[in-house]
């Protein structure tokens, strides 16, 4: 506790020097981070393989490349983002001028999960650096090799009073959030997010919560089923289903359900072969706790494809499941693994009712060739993000904010939104040395006429 307190005090002292507010300093730090990551690309990929059996291509495209992309955008735009932006000034304030000016919060805490342990730690950090903050990072203990790499990286690049990494388990995270930070950024489960929010409330600390939920996929009867199946299988079983925006379950029109199931089976075989256990393109479950949870869920319905597992390797085969028990967690909790429930519907209203019984999801996926149908679904259902005729891609663009709604979280980040998240936008009004005397008492007939004039503009 004392060591954490000491680090925080040193970061507060360093922030008070205003060093981090220099645009040149921020750019220098981002360049140093980019250089280090590029030099250690292969080590990063190997680290992710050890922690999650993540295929090198997935490690590069879904982690490393996204981080570099975010750094490049921040380097290109940081000067523009950091400038005060002029806004309109009301007539009653004449001859003043008005601005909205970003300033850093101060010392921020970033708590990251284990499923994408590099990008979900470093993309928020990029925003924090670009906005001019000091930061304390808490990577997940469930990806220990990555946590060690991040700690070593911070020591090699940054002064500890600027950026520090704290390793440890859930008790360490609890200690951290008991301290006062100027901003907290948390990515993880809704359950833990609730605890973080309660702790933040003790200090009235603003925060962003990037959580999860049951992200539905609607396959309309007019969809291109073959393409839908391939994209759903890819998005669902990427990282062995351990993705907060993965399709959690499929709602498919009854007239095309069997066709979709057959196409999904073929797509899974095309992606991972007849024996996914032997595939170098398929990941593993992060630890035995999550393996046991997922393995138990396999009993909650009829397995129509897959279903095999190997505890010693934390392997669970890509699995399609039907006829789910009504009380099953498959229907009520985020699955976060390679199990895909298939549920049929007769009308869109029936599908809407099923989805609306649950909290608002982080992602919504729609497969239909009708713009009218897509628009109707988007109007009826709320979600943090949405993707039409594809899956997951909306979460990997630095130009599209990743955000939740309701129990799937609040706040947003990626690109400019990361900068905004870690910035307080201060309202500035510059008044002229000359003032319009009519604003002062005592109020006379002139003021009545001024009221009439202003009312005319309403």
Rounded CA gap, 356 and 274, in Å?
A: 37
Residue pLDDT tens, the chain, 458 long: 568 889 999 999 999 999 999 999 999 999 999 999 999 999 999 999 999 999 999 999 999 999 999 999 999 999 999 999 999 998 888 888 999 999 999 999 999 999 999 999 999 999 999 999 999 999 999 999 999 999 999 999 999 999 999 999 999 999 999 999 999 999 999 999 999 999 999 999 999 999 999 999 999 999 999 999 999 999 999 999 999 999 999 999 999 999 999 999 999 999 999 999 999 999 999 999 999 999 999 999 999 999 999 999 999 999 999 999 888 999 999 999 999 999 999 999 999 999 999 999 999 999 999 999 999 999 999 999 999 999 999 999 999 999 999 999 999 999 999 999 999 999 999 988 776 667 778 888 888 888 888 888 78
Residue 4 pLDDT = 83
Residue 56 pLDDT = 96
Residue 437 pLDDT = 66
Residue 433 pLDDT = 75
Dihedral angle at the C-alpha atoms of 238, 239, 245, 248, nearest 10 degrees?
70
Q: State the number of CA atoms in the 13 A half-sphere of 424 facing the CB.
A: 16
Question: What are the extents of the domains in the chain?
Answer: 2-211+409-425, 216-401
Residue 450 pLDDT = 83
Closest CA to 178 of 152, 209, 201, 162: 201
Residue 392 pLDDT = 97
Annotated catalytic, 262?
A: no
Q: Assign domain 2-211+409-425 to its CATH superfamily.
A: Aldehyde Dehydrogenase; Chain A, domain 1 (3.40.605.10)
Other C-beta atoms lying within 10 Å of the C-beta of residue 208: 24
Instruction: Kindly give the pairing relationship between strand 249-253 and strand 216-219.
Output: parallel
Annotated catalytic, 244?
A: yes
Determine which one of 58, 134, 244, 333 is catalytic. 244
Determine which one of 210, 263, 317, 334 is catalytic. 210
Residue 185 pLDDT = 98
Residue 130 pLDDT = 98
Residue 2 pLDDT = 61
Residue pair 107/11 in contact (Cβ under 8 Å)? The answer is: yes
Residue 326 pLDDT = 85
Residue 384 pLDDT = 96
Residue 92 pLDDT = 80
Q: Which CATH number fits domain 216-401: 3.40.309.10, 3.60.15.10, 1.10.10.10, 3.40.140.10?
A: 3.40.309.10
């Amino acid at each position: 506790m004392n060591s954490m307190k000491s680090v925080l005090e040193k970061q507060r002292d360093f922030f008070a020097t205003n060093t981090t507010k220099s645009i040149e300093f921020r750019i220098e730090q981002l360049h140093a981070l980019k250089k280090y990551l590029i030099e250690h690309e292969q080590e990063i990929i190997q680290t992710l393989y050890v922690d999650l059996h993540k295929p090198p291509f997935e490690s590069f495209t879904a982690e490393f490349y996204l981080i570099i992309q975010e750094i490049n955008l921040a380097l290109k735009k940081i000067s523009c983002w950091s400038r005060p932006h002029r806004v309109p000034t009301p007539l009653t304030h004449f001859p003043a001028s008005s601005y909205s000016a970003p300033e850093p919060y101060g010392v921020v805490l970033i708590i990251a999960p284990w499923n994408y342990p590099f990008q979900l730690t470093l993309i928020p950090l990029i925003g924090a650096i670009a906005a001019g903050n000091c930061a304390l990072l808490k990577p997940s203990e469930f990806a220990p090799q990555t946590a060690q790499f991040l700690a070593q990286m911070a020591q090699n690049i940054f002064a500890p009073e600027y950026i520090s990494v704290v390793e440890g388990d859930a008790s360490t995270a609890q200690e951290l959030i008991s301290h006062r930070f100027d901003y907290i950024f948390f990515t993880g489960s809704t359950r833990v997010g609730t605890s973080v929010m309660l702790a933040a409330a003790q200090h009235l600390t603003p925060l962003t919560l990037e959580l999860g939920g049951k992200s539905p996929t609607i396959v309309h009867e007019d969809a291109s089923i073959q393409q839908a199946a391939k994209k759903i299988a890819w998005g669902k079983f990427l990282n062995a289903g351990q993705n907060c925006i993965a399709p959690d379950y499929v709602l498919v029109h009854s007239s095309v359900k069997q066709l979709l199931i057959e196409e999904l089976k073929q797509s899974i075989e095309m992606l991972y072969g007849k024996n996914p256990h032997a595939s170098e393109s398929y990941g593993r479950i992060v630890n035995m706790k999550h393996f046991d949870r997922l393995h138990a869920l396999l009993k909650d319905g009829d397995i129509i494809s897959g279903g095999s597992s190997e505890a010693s390797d934390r392997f669970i085969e890509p699995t399609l499941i039907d006829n789910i028990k009504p009380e099953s967690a498959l229907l009520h909790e985020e699955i976060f693994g390679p199990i895909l429930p298939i549920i049929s519907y007769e009308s869109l209203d029936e599908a809407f009712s099923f989805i609306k019984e649950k909290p608002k999801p982080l992602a919504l996926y729609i497969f239909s060739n009708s713009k009218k149908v897509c628009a109707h679904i988007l109007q009826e259902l709320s979600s943090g993000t949405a993707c039409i005729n594809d899956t997951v891609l909306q979460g990997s663009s630095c130009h599209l904010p990743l955000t939740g709604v309701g129990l799937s979280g609040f706040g947003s980040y990626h690109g400019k939104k990361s900068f905004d998240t870690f910035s307080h936008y201060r309202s500035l009004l510059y008044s002229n040395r000359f003032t319009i005397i009519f604003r002062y008492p005592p109020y006379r007939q002139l003021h009545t006429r001024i009221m009439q004039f202003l009312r005319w503009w309403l």
